[in-house]
Structures are given as C-alpha cells and as structure tokens.
Structure 1
Amino acid sequence: MKLGAIEAGGTKFVCAVSDDNINVEDREQFPTTTPEETMAQVFTYFEEHPVDAIGIGSFGPVSLNEDADNFGYITNTPKLAWKNYDFLGAMKAHFDIPFYFTTDVNVAAYGEYKAGAGRGKKNILYWTVGTGVGASYIQKGKFLQGYSHPEMGHILLRPDERDHGFEGVCPYHGNCFEGLAAGPAIEKRFGKKGYEIDPSDPFWEIEANYIAQACVNATLILRPDIIIFGGGVMKQTQLFPQIQAEFVKQLADYVDFPEITGYIKHVALGDDAGITGALMLAKKVVNEK
C-alpha cells in the first residue's frame, strides 16, 4: 500500500509518499502561490506518484463540519486567492481514492501524538508558533472539534508592560496570541527575523510571558497531559525554561499539572511532524474503510 500526504502551508506545500510503515519514499515542495498554480503541481505530483489514500493538512481556517455544504473548503483566509477554495473537492475530482482532510496543525499534532513527544499520552495539546499561531487538541485519539476546529491562536492575552504598548499585528484582533507572539509580530518590533535576534535579548522574556499565558489558559480549560510546541519561533530553545518558569508563576498553584519540564516541551519530530501525521491519517482512513 502506498500512502500520500499533503502539508499545505501558507508559505509552501509539501507532498510526500510513503509505504505502509510510514517510511517516506519521495517528497517534494513548492511555493504556495495561487490555487491554479499550486494545485496543478499537486495534481501532477500524485499522477506521477500514485497512492491508495492521501492525508491532507491545510492552512486555514478550513471547514471541517462534514454536514456543511462547504466541508473541505479553505474559508476566511487572509490569503485572498484561496478564500472559499474547495480544496477537498478539487482533489476528489482528480483522484478516486479516500482522503483525510483536516488542518495543518492537526496533522502535526497527530504525528507528535503517535510517534513524537506525545507518544504514550492520552490527551495532548499541540501549538505551532511561526508565521501564525495555531493549536490542536487530541483527546483519547480524537481531535477536539465542535462547530469547526478550534482557533486557539487567536485567544486574547494581557499585554506585557515591558512591550512598550505594542498593539499586535493580527488584522482581526490586534493583541491576540498570534498578533503578539508570532513571527511577523517579532519582525514588526525589530525589523528582522526572530532567528536574527540574540538569544539573550530581554525580548524573549516578553515572548515567554505571552506563550505562558496561553499555556495557563489552555491548562485551565483542557487539562492536557502534555503541551507540545512546534513552529519556527519555538526553535529558540532558550524559550522553554523561560516559559516553564513563567507558567508556574502565573498559574500560582491553583491546579496541579505534570512535572513542568515534561509538561511544556518541544516537538520531537521537528519539521517532519506534519508529513508524518498526514501519512498516518491516510493510513487510518484506509483502515477504517
């Protein structure tokens, strides 16, 4: 059995093929431009690499309500060329195979849940902090979902007094988690990328404060077994002890939680979490059918 994966990000698409044991046999990536250009490359890739099922993780927001008329669509995205694009429908029109369609954050979370830092845990929260901020919660093997998928990247946070009145960059909410802590917010403050900022810069204490606030909110609402962070901003490994210390301070012993260094952790699969999870979900949908 051959399995396919699409990790559709706002910056790039990654397509991959694996065997039944999730050993990746081929992988290709290309820029996210317009649906016409990018999807043509996706169709060509899977025509040249036939598979039995494809797991798709897409940037969003996307519609995951299977009863809705727009199930499988990218919906109200700031990438205007992709707004209200029928992603799943386009794939089904080209390939008569099973698909698992979900968010890009969900596929990364599933990879970490099955084979990464969340392996062996029943309930995991996965955050990505990079170009944007998104989250996925898996409870006993199932994604948390109501009317649609959670948008925990846009929870509102208290501004840090040391942040000099920074108003955030989110066009919808200003000082939400994404608006204050994602990569573009860092670049707005400094005029350069986060990886260009010295790890000892005091700003990282402000960043840790915002991330810790998000962890406190999530802990109080969801009580996960572990909180796992991925994304480009979180490659600043000095953040983790700062976040952990700030989390303990903010939570103030109100509820118990696992040992802190094992509770707030970095991804174990690195940049492969999304593709790994998408391939595993492709396998899951084949087994279910």
Structure 2
Amino acid sequence: MVFGAVEAGGTKFVVAIGDETGKVIKRETYPTTEPGETMKYVEQFFKQYEDELEAIGVGSFGPIDVRKSSPTYGYITSTPKLAWRNYDIVGALKNAFHVPIGFTTDVNAAALGEVTLGAAEGLSSCMYITIGTGIGAGAVVNGKMLEGYSHPEMGHIMVRRHKHDRYTGNCPYHDDCLEGLAAGGAIEKRWGKKAVELADNEEVWNLEAHYIAQALMNYSLILSPERIVIGGGVMKQRQVFPLVRQKLKTLIAGYIQLPDLEEYIVPPKLEDDAGITGCILLAIQTKQEN
C-alpha cells in the first residue's frame, strides 16, 4: 500500500511515493515544461506502482480551482505560465489512474506537512509562507486546510511602502503588494543582485523584514495561527528571522499577546520536503474520505 504525491511547481515537478506515515519512499524531479511532456513523466513514475497505489495528493502552483462543485475543479486556471493555463491536471491523473485524488495549492500542502510532521507538529493550526521567486502562503486551521470560494493568495496583500524605498514593485497586477516588494525577484531587481549575493548587506534585510513583518501582523490578527513557518529560497538567509520578530513586536505594540516570537515565527523543520510530504499526507486523507 503506497500513496502518490505530486508537488507541481512553476519550475519543477516533484513526484513521490510514500507510506501510511507520510514518509517519502522514492522521489523524482522533472522540469516544468509544457503539460504533455511533464505529465508524461509523472504518469510513467506512478505506473511503476499502479498495483499498490491507493491515492494521489496534488499540491499545485496556481491559481487553481479547488471548489469541488465547480465545472473546472482540478484545473490550473489563470497562471502566467501560458502552456498550463486552464489545464485539467486532476482530470489528466484520473484518466491515467483510477484512484482518489486530493487537490490543493503547493503552499497549503506544505502547511499540512509542517503541522503534521514538521515545525508545528502537535498544534491544530499553522501558516506556511514561502518567500522565493514569488510569495505564497497556505494555512491549516483546526486541522483543515484553509479554502473557501477559492484558495488563499496571501502573497498579494497590500503593505505600506517603506519611506525610503523607491523601487516601483515587481508584481504586474499591484504596485505595493507583498510579493511585488519582497519576493526574490523584487530583491534582485531593486538591488541588482540575487538574494544569496546580498547576505552581508544589512540594509537589504532590514527592508525585507519591514515588509514581511507587516504581512505577519495582518495574518496574525486575522487568522491567529498557533505557529508561522516561513520557508523558500529567500528565507534561507536566516538572519532575517530575528529582524522580522523584532519588527513584528514593534508593529503589534502590545495590542495582543502573541506567543513567544522565537517559537511563533520559525523556519520549516521539513525544509524542502514540506510540500511533497504534505502531498503524501493529502493522499492519505483523501483515501480515508473515499
């Protein structure tokens, strides 16, 4: 008995087989090219386990349609990756494998992984935020992934621009959203270097923390998660964490009593495996529900 997982990212697809505990047994990675090519490799991987496969969990880049009553449920919808726009990824997998398929965002899957087996294990709620090329966030609330008419798009909340920041923003939709001002692409265009090349520049990380802390204040006031896990390539610069905690404390200004910030705002325990682990766990949940 094995469970399949697909972490569908904008640059790569990670596929895996896991056991009933959520442990990854085997995984492979393929570049995200166009659906016909990438999905061919995904199907070939799972064909090896077809007789044992119980369910598949998919955590995908978005936007996606997560409403089960919708005629386009299971689709990747208005993504800027044109080849994948309005692509029925769940339908493609259902045609190839007659097993239950769970479907959510890649960041919701990562939140599920971290709250079940990672940095928020034992808690009933957490947020997972990835800050890399873009910014995305997912949440588990009372043990369930947060979804409504759609899924969270918390990377695009509006934040107050720093008074000395003259960069116009990197989001094609919004001038002053979190992703446009604080994602890896914004850092590179504002400073002329990649984040990893700016590790020793205090000005870079103070500005980054200025925007991240605003977002965390909003998330904390609205969702009250028991823990906030922040991953992604930019946050491998661990010097950002104490800056964010300090600035969040200043912004909250004693209005509410947050948990100890050292324990409240943390890096992922599962590191780069948070998403694929969450997809395995989603597959297990989906099997139990069917």
TM-score range, shorter chain: over 0.9
Give the distance between the partners of 1:49 and 1:230, measured in 2 at CA.
Answer: 31
Give the distance between the partners of 1:162 and 1:47, measured in 2 at CA.
Answer: 55
Give % identity.
51
- 2:58 corresponds to: 56
Q: Choose 172-181 or 55-64, whichever is displaced more.
A: 172-181
Query: Are residues 1:30 and 2:30 paired?
Result: yes
Q: Answer whether contact 2:108 2:146 (CA < 8 A) is retained.
A: no
Give the distance between the partners of 2:242 and 2:86, measured in 1 at CA.
Answer: 41
Q: Answer whether contact 1:183 1:193 (CA < 8 A) is retained.
A: yes
Give the distance between the partners of 2:188 and 2:49, measured in 1 at CA.
Answer: 39
Q: Answer whether contact 1:199 1:238 (CA < 8 A) is retained.
A: no
Q: Deviations over 1:221-247 (max 9, x none)?
A: 111111110111111100000000000
Secondary structure, in 3 states, of the residue corresponding to 1:278? helix
Q: Choose 234-243 or 255-264, whichever is displaced more.
A: 255-264
- 1:264 corresponds to: 265
Structure 1 counterpart of 2:174, which letter?
H
Secondary structure, in 3 states, of the residue corresponding to 1:228? strand
Query: Are residues 1:4 and 2:9 paired?
Result: no
Q: Answer whether contact 1:208 1:246 (CA < 8 A) is retained.
A: yes
- 1:134 corresponds to: 136
TM-score by length of 2: 0.97
- 1:248 corresponds to: 249
Secondary structure, in 3 states, of the residue corresponding to 2:151? coil
Q: Answer whether contact 1:162 1:206 (CA < 8 A) is retained.
A: no
Shift of 1:22: 2.7
- 2:70 corresponds to: 68
Give the distance between the partners of 1:199 and 1:157, measured in 2 at CA.
Answer: 25
- 1:83 corresponds to: 85
Give the distance between the partners of 1:199 and 1:100, measured in 2 at CA.
Answer: 42
Of 151, 154, 159, the residue aligned with 1:157 is 159
- 1:120 corresponds to: 122
Q: Deviations over 1:237-264 (max 9, x none)?
A: 0000000000001111111111111111
TM-score by length of 1: 0.97
Give the distance between the partners of 1:162 and 1:242, measured in 2 at CA.
Answer: 18
Secondary structure, in 3 states, of the residue corresponding to 2:44? helix
Structure 2 counterpart of 1:120, which letter?
G
Shift of 1:21: 2.7
Give 5+ residue unaligned stretches, structure 1: none
Q: Deviations over 1:252-280 (max 9, x none)?
A: 11111111111111111100101111111
Give the distance between the partners of 1:129 and 1:142, measured in 2 at CA.
Answer: 23
Give the distance between the partners of 1:41 and 1:18, measured in 2 at CA.
Answer: 18
Of 97, 103, 121, the residue aligned with 2:105 is 103
Q: Choose 196-205 or 212-221, whichever is displaced more.
A: 196-205
Give the distance between the partners of 1:145 and 1:53, measured in 2 at CA.
Answer: 21
Secondary structure, in 3 states, of the residue corresponding to 2:202? coil
Q: Deviations over 1:131-188 (max 9, x none)?
A: 111111211111122211111100011111232x111101111221111111111111
Query: Are residues 1:169 and 2:192 paired?
Result: no
Give the distance between the partners of 1:236 and 1:198, measured in 2 at CA.
Answer: 7
Give the distance between the partners of 1:16 and 1:245, measured in 2 at CA.
Answer: 38
Superposition RMSD in Å: 1.1
Q: Deviations over 1:34-92 (max 9, x none)?
A: 11111111111111232221110000000001111100000111111111111111111
Give the distance between the partners of 1:81 and 1:46, measured in 2 at CA.
Answer: 23
- 1:92 corresponds to: 94
- 1:42 corresponds to: 42
- 1:224 corresponds to: 225
Structure 1 counterpart of 2:64, which letter?
V
Runs of 4+ residues deviating >4 angstroms: none
Shift of 1:20: 2.4
Give the distance between the partners of 2:156 and 2:143, measured in 1 at CA.
Answer: 24
Structure 2 counterpart of 1:46, which letter?
F
